[in-house]
């Protein structure tokens, strides 16, 4: 089943403290965003990539696309003030009935789940990757623990998230109309009373957010190279 993917890559990732867009931090000689794009470039079911960027970095992104010969990047859209606006801008260029939304800073997505996601989105209307939380979760206020939250039903949500294009466009339209900012795209679907199907992901599919994440990323890449 074919799909398109919208990849927001306009954020500066201030928690990384890299002094640059974290998408361009190199792992094994290749920018983070190039690792991410390669997954979809190599997936036969992906018919096109819509990359959403900071316009000030258009030249850098164009050079990267040419350097690695990414032929599936069909559109480079301008980012908005917030991630939600950036994704909405990208979705306007999608045409496949199924669309994925994936963080540019998650380079370790694995192929087997992609078709599962596409099938779930076609069947249910919306689907997301997620993994059960491993740590104990406590609710804290003003530096004091209020309660320990029951962990068995808590999942950490990842991307890609997959949707029927008509459903996610309607959800973004409604969010813009109501001035609603969600924490992820699935939450825009949820607020309209629609269900989101969960596909179990992997813990390796981390979002690179802090300098410590780069150490984990390096270890994952070295392990994968050793398995080849």
Find the CATH number of the domain harbouring 156: 3.90.550.10
Return mean pLDDT, the chain.
94
Peptide bond before residue 116 is cis, with ω within 30 degrees of 0: no
Helix ranges (H only) for 105-147 are: 112-124
Q: What is the count of structural domains for the chain?
A: 1
Q: Which domain holds residue 137?
A: 3-227
Q: Could you tell me the pTM of the whole model?
A: 0.94
| pLDDT of 18 | 62
> 29: which residues sit within 8 A by CB, 6+ positions away?
none
- The 10s digit of each residue's pLDDT in 77-123 is 999 999 999 999 999 999 999 999 999 999 999 888 999 999 999 99
How far apart CA 72 and CA 74 sit, in angstroms, is 6
- The 10s digit of each residue's pLDDT in 25-83 is 999 899 999 999 999 999 999 999 999 999 999 999 999 999 999 999 999 999 999 99
Per DSSP bridges, beta strands 98-101 and 3-8 are parallel
How far apart CA 4 and CA 19 sit, in angstroms, is 31
Sign of CA pseudo-dihedral 38, 106, 78, 12: negative
The percentage of the chain sitting over the pLDDT mark of 90, rounded to a whole number, equals: 86
């Amino acid at each position: 089943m074919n799909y398109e993917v919208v990849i927001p890559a306009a954020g500066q990732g201030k928690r990384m403290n890299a002094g640059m867009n974290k998408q361009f931090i190199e792992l094994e000689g290749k920018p983070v965003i190039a690792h991410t794009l390669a997954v979809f470039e190599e997936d036969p079911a992906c018919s096109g990539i819509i990359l959403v960027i900071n316009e000030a970095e258009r030249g850098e992104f164009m050079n990267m696309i040419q350097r690695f010969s990414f032929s599936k990047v069909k559109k480079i859209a301008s980012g908005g003030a917030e991630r939600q606006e950036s994704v909405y801008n990208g979705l306007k260029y999608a045409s496949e009935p199924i669309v994925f939304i994936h963080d540019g800073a998650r380079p370790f997505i694995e192929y087997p789940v992609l078709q599962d996601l596409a099938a779930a989105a076609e069947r249910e209307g919306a689907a997301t990757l997620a993994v059960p939380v491993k740590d104990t979760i406590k609710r804290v206020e003003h530096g004091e623990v209020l309660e320990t939250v029951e962990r068995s039903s808590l999942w950490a949500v990842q991307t890609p998230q997959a949707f029927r294009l008509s459903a996610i466009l309607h959800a973004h339209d409604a969010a813009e109309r109501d001035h609603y900012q969600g924490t992820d795209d699935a939450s825009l679907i949820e607020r309209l009373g629609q269900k989101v199907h969960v596909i179990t992901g992997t813990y390796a599919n981390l979002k690179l957010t802090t300098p410590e994440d780069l150490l984990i990323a390096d270890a994952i890449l070295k392990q994968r190279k050793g398995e080849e």
